């Protein structure tokens, strides 16, 4: 019986069920149908093509725009037991030759390449010999000139249908308006595609906007409140990125800069340090895209106003990709608007200028509106949010309060009306505040009835009232009259007392986010597991999240699994990771339980959700087939490891997979290991039933190894 996609989902990825939309997309790809999916960051796009790549015959070619991400993506796929490689300019010649050899021998499930490499005629010729089953296009919005991140090299992907008419195409993006979506489908030439437009809602993200006062101090205060969490800080310019990173380092925060002015080598080094939890914070420019595949980013802070909502959504989307709670905090001031508008005014094309002005206005509306932030984000993408209170933004949790500002608004609009609607925000604020400027005297505005009507407040206050009036469409700025303020019909209703006007004001104290992590987990055990994960990651040269996500570790720290069956039902623990890391983490859990009996008692009634029993049949990798060939020729585990220059542990994993799949039926355990060792292992298993492998090794006085135990257990389960 062949493995179903549900069985493969649990065995490979360790998940009990699909996330929304994943099952339908995987089914469409398995049916050899084109697919186009708009799914938010953290929605599980990679699984949608990695799973069918494993189940289908042939190769899945993944087009990925960021070379800096490819190695992490491939490491993560390999950690789950998939045969994956990448081809890009960072590979040494011998590694490039190795990948091409694997490609020619049909040994790969997944091959990650850049759009530039795909465009090379020689490479297309190579792929035509490689039995490509389908193409997966990541960041598909890059093909659209209407998107926020257009890349001309993506246009070559329009040739996929011509060169590979029998191969399917699955395109994915996290940010695309309906117009951009239609453009992607047309340019790629998708044939009757299965279409998915998932909700843009990221319920685990907490949105907050704060007035920007002393940004360095505000950022430092936030980081002191989140000392063990990883995050990204976005700034507008390279200079501000460097200044913020330097300030944080001076204050003892492990922070690094990331922008286009750094050399590729330095950018790669900084990114790797962040991905591997060696630094807490990376400070980056808004304009320069970062290849961050890190799942445990707990916060994204914007020190400056983004230019548009799509960019803001994508950047905040880097937080909480593991589904755990994360914060998205924007620090906003009027000076940000002035700076962005200055750059907009340098744009020669009037249409582009108009679009940029509209995008800026939408961003300011989001920052200053007194409605649910989540509702505003989703509304931009044409999605309505039905709940009255999202409970995950500063507006909805009451971190800000609504204040009746009808009278201050009337003072501002009266000054605008009486001065002829010909002046900008600075001058109007000066009139109301009673400033003694030469310009006010020049136009005789110190004689207006509203001059000095608001001298009890400073000019900053009146600028905030003007910004709020603009955001709530009571005022507009006339682009042809040097941004002069003009009243709208809605504004006139407020001025003449026919409707009220409210603003929002920051309350004292911190946002009361009603967000919680996975259950009542043990923070002490979580930190021990986290430390072990970091040690293993450094040993293997991969980011910690490649081994296990924070969410997986929190589940371990909630349920305390200490048997293979329990561990296999922890979300994110697939067969390959269970075989490789299970015993190490179970030993830590076992020792923790001995040292903290009170913690165990507290969770005595908790049961790990289990999945239905599943078949063990699976596709065997090429490297496991090499092990099978040598084992059938009579080589022992030790000899196979020595000849192939791999560890005995890896060989034992191959033996286990071969027996589970049925392909190792003819193997003889007494040829693979010394009979005396086999007998000792069997005695230990019988005597110490239910104990962890590490405990059994210690009980044997280290006379048996993990590889010995794994082989003996695999044969016992087979019989």
Least confident of 44-58, 114-128, 260-274, 593-607: 593-607
The larger pLDDT score, comparing residue 573 to residue 514, is at: 573
Q: Is the pLDDT of residue 611 over 60?
A: no
Q: Is the pLDDT of residue 359 over 50?
A: yes
Q: Rounded distance, CA 178 to CA 169, Å?
A: 19
Q: Rounded distance, CA 689 to CA 428, Å?
A: 82
Q: Is the pLDDT of residue 381 over 90?
A: no
Q: Is the pLDDT of residue 525 over 50?
A: yes
Q: Is the pLDDT of residue 481 over 60?
A: yes
Q: Is the pLDDT of residue 30 over 90?
A: yes
Q: Give the pLDDT of residue 442.
A: 93
Name beta bridge partners: 298.
none
Assign residue 541 a region (left: φ > 0; alpha: ψ between -120 and 50; beta: otherwise).
Answer: left
Q: Give the pLDDT of residue 575.
A: 87
Helices 523-540 and 575-595 pack at an angle, to 10 degrees, of 140
Q: pLDDT category, 543, cuts 50, 70, 90? A: confident
Q: Which architecture characterizes domain 405-506 according to CATH? A: Orthogonal Bundle (1.10)
Q: pLDDT category, 616, cuts 50, 70, 90? A: very low
- What percent of the chain clears pLDDT 70, i.e. is strictly above it? 92
Q: Positive or negative CA dihedral for 462, 468, 469, 470?
A: positive
* Structure tokens belonging to residue 667: 């193997």
Q: What is the fold, at CATH topology level, of the domain defined by 620-719?
A: Arc Repressor Mutant, subunit A (1.10.10)
CATH class of the domain whose range is 205-399? alpha beta
**Helix (H) / strand (E) containing 256:** strand 255-258
The larger pLDDT score, comparing residue 371 to residue 452, is at: 452
Strands 484-487 and 475-478: antiparallel
Average model confidence (pLDDT) across the chain: 86
Q: Is the pLDDT of residue 490 over 60?
A: yes
Q: Rounded distance, CA 307 to CA 363, Å?
A: 7
Q: Give the pLDDT of residue 148.
A: 60
What mean pLDDT comes out for the span 494-498?
94
Closest to 311 in 3D by CA, of 76, 35, 41, 3:
41
Q: Alpha carbon of 28 to those of 181, 303, 465: distances in Å?
A: 18, 42, 52
Q: What is the fold, at CATH topology level, of the domain defined by 5-197?
A: Rossmann fold (3.40.50)
What digits encode the pLDDT tens for the residues 305-325?
998 888 898 899 889 988 889
Per DSSP, which regions of 81-153 are E strands? 84-87, 110-113, 132-137
Strands 255-258 and 281-285: parallel
Q: Is the pLDDT of residue 1 over 60?
A: no
Q: Give the pLDDT of residue 243.
A: 95
**What is 517-606's CATH number?**
1.10.150.80
The larger pLDDT score, comparing residue 706 to residue 206, is at: 206
Q: Is the pLDDT of residue 617 over 70?
A: no
Would you say the CATH fold of 620-719 matches that of 405-506?
A: yes
CB 597 within 8 A of CB 631: no
Which of 261-265, 333-337, 650-654, 680-684: highest mean pLDDT? 680-684
Domain ranges of the chain: 5-197, 205-399, 405-506, 517-606, 620-719
Q: Alpha carbon of 302 to those of 205, 228, 306, 538: distances in Å?
A: 14, 19, 8, 30
Q: pLDDT category, 719, cuts 50, 70, 90? A: low
What mean pLDDT comes out for the span 637-662?
85
Q: Give the pLDDT of residue 336.
A: 85
Strands 326-332 and 297-302: parallel
Q: Rounded distance, CA 314 to CA 311, Å?
A: 5
Our CA dihedral for 636, 638, 643, 647, rounded to 10 degrees, sits at 130
Q: pLDDT category, 230, cuts 50, 70, 90? A: very high
What DSSP string runs through 438-464? HHHHHHTGGGSTTTTTTTTS-HHHHHH
Backbone angles phi, psi at 203, to 5 degrees: -65, -20
Q: Tell me, what DSSP letter sits at residue 9?
A: I
Q: Positive or negative CA dihedral for 631, 634, 639, 642?
A: negative
Closest to 352 in 3D by CA, of 144, 145, 143, 174:
145
3-state secondary structure 17-29: CCCCCHHHHHHHH
Q: Give the pLDDT of residue 112.
A: 95
Full-model pTM? 0.68
Q: Give the pLDDT of residue 362.
A: 84
Residue partners of 116: CB distance under 8 A and separation at least 6 = 153
Least confident of 80-89, 212-221, 496-505, 641-650: 641-650
- What percent of the chain clears pLDDT 90, i.e. is strictly above it? 41
Q: Is the pLDDT of residue 673 over 90?
A: yes
* Structure tokens belonging to residue 668: 């003889």
Q: What is the CA radius of gyration of the chain?
A: 30
Name beta bridge partners: 211.
332
What mean pLDDT comes out for the span 200-212?
91
Residue partners of 604: CB distance under 8 A and separation at least 6 = none
Q: Is the pLDDT of residue 88 over 90?
A: no
Q: Is the pLDDT of residue 108 over 50?
A: yes
What digits encode the pLDDT tens for the residues 413-424?
999 999 999 998
Q: pLDDT category, 292, cuts 50, 70, 90? A: low
């Amino acid at each position: 019986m062949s493995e179903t996609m549900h069985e493969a989902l649990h065995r490979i990825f360790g998940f009990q069920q699909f996330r929304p939309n994943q099952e339908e997309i995987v089914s469409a790809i398995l049916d050899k149908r084109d697919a186009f999916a708009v799914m938010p960051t953290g929605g599980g796009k990679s699984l949608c093509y990695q799973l069918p790549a494993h189940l289908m015959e042939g190769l899945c070619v993944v087009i990925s725009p960021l070379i800096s991400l490819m190695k992490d993506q491939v490491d993560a796929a390999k950690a789950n037991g998939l045969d994956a490689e990448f081809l890009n300019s960072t590979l040494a010649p011998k590694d490039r030759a190795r990948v091409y050899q694997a490609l020619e021998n049909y040994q790969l499930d997944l091959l990650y390449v850049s759009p530039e490499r795909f465009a090379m005629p020689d490479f297309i010729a190579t792929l035509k010999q490689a039995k490509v089953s389908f193409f997966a296009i990541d960041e598909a919005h890059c093909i659209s000139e209407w998107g926020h991140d257009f890349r001309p090299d993506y246009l070559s992907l329009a040739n996929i249908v011509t060169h590979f008419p029998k191969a399917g195409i699955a395109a994915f993006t996290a940010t695309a308006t309906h117009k951009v979506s239609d453009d992607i489908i047309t340019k790629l030439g998708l044939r009757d595609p299965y279409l998915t437009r998932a909700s843009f809602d990221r319920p685990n993200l907490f949105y907050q906007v704060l007035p920007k006062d002393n940004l360095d101090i505000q950022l430092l205060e936030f980081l002191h409140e989140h000392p063990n969490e990883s995050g990204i800080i976005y700034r507008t310019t390279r200079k501000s990125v460097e200044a913020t990173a330097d300030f944080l380092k001076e204050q003892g925060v492990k922070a690094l800069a990331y922008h286009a002015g750094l050399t590729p080598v330095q950018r790669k080094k900084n990114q790797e340090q962040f991905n591997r939890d060696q630094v807490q914070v990376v400070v980056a420019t808004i304009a320069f895209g970062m290849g961050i595949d890190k799942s445990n980013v707990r916060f994204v802070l914007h020190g400056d106003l983004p230019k548009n909502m799509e960019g803001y959504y994508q950047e905040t989307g880097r937080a909480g990709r593991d589904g755990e709670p994360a914060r998205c905090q924007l620090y906003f001031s009027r000076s940000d608007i002035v700076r962005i508008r200055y750059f907009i005014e340098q744009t020669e094309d009037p249409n582009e200028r108009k679009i940029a002005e509209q995008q800026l206005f939408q961003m300011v509306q989001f920052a200053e509106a007194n409605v649910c932030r989540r509702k505003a984000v989703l509304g931009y993408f044409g999605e309505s949010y039905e709940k009255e209170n999202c409970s995950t933004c500063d507006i909805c949790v009451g971190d800000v309060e609504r204040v009746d500002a009808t009278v201050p608004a009337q003072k501002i609009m009266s000054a605008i009306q009486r001065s002829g609607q010909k002046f900008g925000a600075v001058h109007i604020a000066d009139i109301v505040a009673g400033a003694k400027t030469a310009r006010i005297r020049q136009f005789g505005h110190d004689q207006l009835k509203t001059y000095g009507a608001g001298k009890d407040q400073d000019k900053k206050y009146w600028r905030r009232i003007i910004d709020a009036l603009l955001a709530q469409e009571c005022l507009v700025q006339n682009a042809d009259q040097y941004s002069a303020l003009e009243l709208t019909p809605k504004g006139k209703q407020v001025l003449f007392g026919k409707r009220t006007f409210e603003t929002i004001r920051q309350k004292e104290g911190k946002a009361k986010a009603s967000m919680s992590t996975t259950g009542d987990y043990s923070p002490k055990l979580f930190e021990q597991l986290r430390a072990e994960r970091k040690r293993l990651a450094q040993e293997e040269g991969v980011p910690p999240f490649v081994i296990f996500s924070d969410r997986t570790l929190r589940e371990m720290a909630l349920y305390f699994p200490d048997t293979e069956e329990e561990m296999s039902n922890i979300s994110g623990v697939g067969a390959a990771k269970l075989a490789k890391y299970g015993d190490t983490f179970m030993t830590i859990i076992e020792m923790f339980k001995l040292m903290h009996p009170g913690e165990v008692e507290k969770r005595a009634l908790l049961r790990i959700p289990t999945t239905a029993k599943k078949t063990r049949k699976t596709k065997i990798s090429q490297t496991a087939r090499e092990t099978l060939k040598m084992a059938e020729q009579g080589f022992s585990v030790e000899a196979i490891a020595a000849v192939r220059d791999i560890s005995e542990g890896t060989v034992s994993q191959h033996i286990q997979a071969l027996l589970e799949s049925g392909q190792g039926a003819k193997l003889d355990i007494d040829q693979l290991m010394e009979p005396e060792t086999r007998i000792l292992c069997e005695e230990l298993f019988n005597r110490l039933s239910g104990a962890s492998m590490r405990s059994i090794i210690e009980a044997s006085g280290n006379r048996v190894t993990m590889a010995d135990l794994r082989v003996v257990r695999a044969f016992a389960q087979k019989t």
